[in-house]
């Protein structure tokens, strides 16, 4: 009996050590959807300068951005290397999201509570709240 227990114990130990850390890693995914019919452009900044992916654009409804990282809790500032994100609607209105002040309050791209979480996927949907919070530009937004 003791011999069988030792064999089983070694078998379990060997199994545990044969599974590397990579086998347990799960990729976290962030999705940003445009839920509006409006054209939306997103610009990304770090310390006031364009960063990483400089801008992305989506005409009408649909997925505007998808990013992933080898972490189950993915945050957009790590993926985009940005501390502020500007959303421009129809080149007429803009809304700025800030990492350090977590603005705009209640619907920030930098706040986990603003996303819908489903397993390892977190989805943010740009909606009327974003558009209504956006400030009109004097002429075209640049």
pLDDT of residue 48: 82
Q: Is residue 61, in this structure, part of any structural domain at all?
A: yes
Q: Is residue 11, in this structure, part of any structural domain at all?
A: no
Q: Is residue 62, in this structure, part of any structural domain at all?
A: yes
Domain count, the chain: 1
pLDDT tens sequence across 3-37: 655 554 554 555 444 454 444 456 778 889 999 99
CB contact at 8 A, 45 and 82: yes
pLDDT tens sequence across 98-117: 887 766 777 888 888 888 98
Q: Is residue 117, in this structure, part of any structural domain at all?
A: yes
pLDDT of residue 113: 84
Q: Is residue 142, in this structure, part of any structural domain at all?
A: no
Q: Is residue 12, in this structure, part of any structural domain at all?
A: no
- Write the CA distances from 73 to 22, 29, 78, 109, integer angstroms: 16, 9, 11, 14
Model pTM? Answer: 0.73
Q: Indicate whether 118 pLDDT > 80.
A: yes
pLDDT tens sequence across 35-60: 999 999 998 888 888 776 667 888 88
Average pLDDT over residues 79-84: 74
Q: Is residue 82, in this structure, part of any structural domain at all?
A: yes
Q: Is residue 45, in this structure, part of any structural domain at all?
A: yes
- Please state the φ and ψ torsions of residue 14, each to the nearest 5 degrees: -60, -40
What is the DSSP track for 101-115?
Answer: TTBSTTS-TT-GGGS
39 is in which domain, residue-wise?
24-136
CA distance 59 to 38: 7
pLDDT of residue 45: 87
């Amino acid at each position: 009996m003791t011999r069988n227990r030792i064999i089983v114990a070694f078998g379990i130990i060997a199994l545990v050590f044969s599974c590397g850390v990579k086998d347990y890693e799960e990729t976290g995914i962030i999705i940003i959807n445009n839920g509006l019919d409006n054209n939306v452009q997103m610009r990304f900044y770090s310390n006031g300068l364009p960063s990483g992916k400089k801008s992305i654009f989506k005409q009408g409804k649909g997925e505007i951005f998808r990013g992933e990282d080898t972490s189950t809790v993915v945050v957009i500032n790590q993926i985009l290397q940005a501390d502020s994100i500007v959303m421009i609607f129809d080149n007429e209105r803009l809304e700025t999201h800030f990492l350090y002040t977590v603005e705009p309050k209640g619907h920030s791209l930098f706040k986990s509570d603003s996303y819908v979480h489903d397993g390892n996927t977190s989805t943010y949907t740009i909606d009327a709240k974003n558009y209504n919070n956006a400030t009109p530009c004097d002429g075209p937004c640049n």
